[in-house]
Amino acid sequence: MSRSPHPRILRAHIASTAARLMAQDGITDMGLAKRKAARQLGQADSALLPDDAEVEAELRLYQALYQGDVQPARLRFLREEAVRSMQMFACFNPYLTGSVLDGTAGEHSAIDLLLFADSAKDVEIFLLDHNIAFEHVEPRNDKAEAVLRLNAPDADIHLIVFPHHLERHHFRHRDGRPRERLRLDGLKQLLEAA
């Protein structure tokens, strides 16, 4: 009779499998990656799902072990693209957030920019005036007015539009950790230091 593994070991297996799915298959939604990993491992108990920080740690480890020759260059490229995009959208007080900021961006990662405007329509008009094609994506944050995806050949850009009054609001990850964000000058300093 075989014994089932300890819950802590199962959580670690789910976290490492979710990290692999994110790195290899391009899954960007950590919750989806965890659920898919749990199903692959035959686990239906949602209490065993690791938190986002555990998966992020496993993703960093996976990237260091298996993508160490390409991931740093891809990250730098995405950060340089973010600088250009933030300059373009300067009138909307852009902030970089997500995997490009935290260093876990890979081949399938998009650049996530927080924009602050009177209305999401202002950003849409800006894009139309500059002949930039975009599409609407379902917001993951209920405070976001819109998420606009720009499909570029080398990297998608997600413009996450919030009302002006939320610019000083501190956003959080699902697990309660503060969501980091960085202004253009901070991103330039980050690139110079690398």
Q: pLDDT tens-digit profile of 10-43? A: 899 999 999 999 999 888 888 899 999 999 988 8
147: nearest Cα among 111, 171, 173, 175: 111
Residue-wise pLDDT for 168-179, tens only, equals 888 887 777 888
Domain 71-193 falls in which CATH fold? Beta Polymerase; domain 2 (3.30.460)
Average pLDDT over all residues of the chain: 91
Domain boundaries, the chain: 7-66, 71-193
For 154-162, what is the mean pLDDT?
Answer: 95
pTM confidence score? 0.86
Bridge partner list, 113: 96, 159
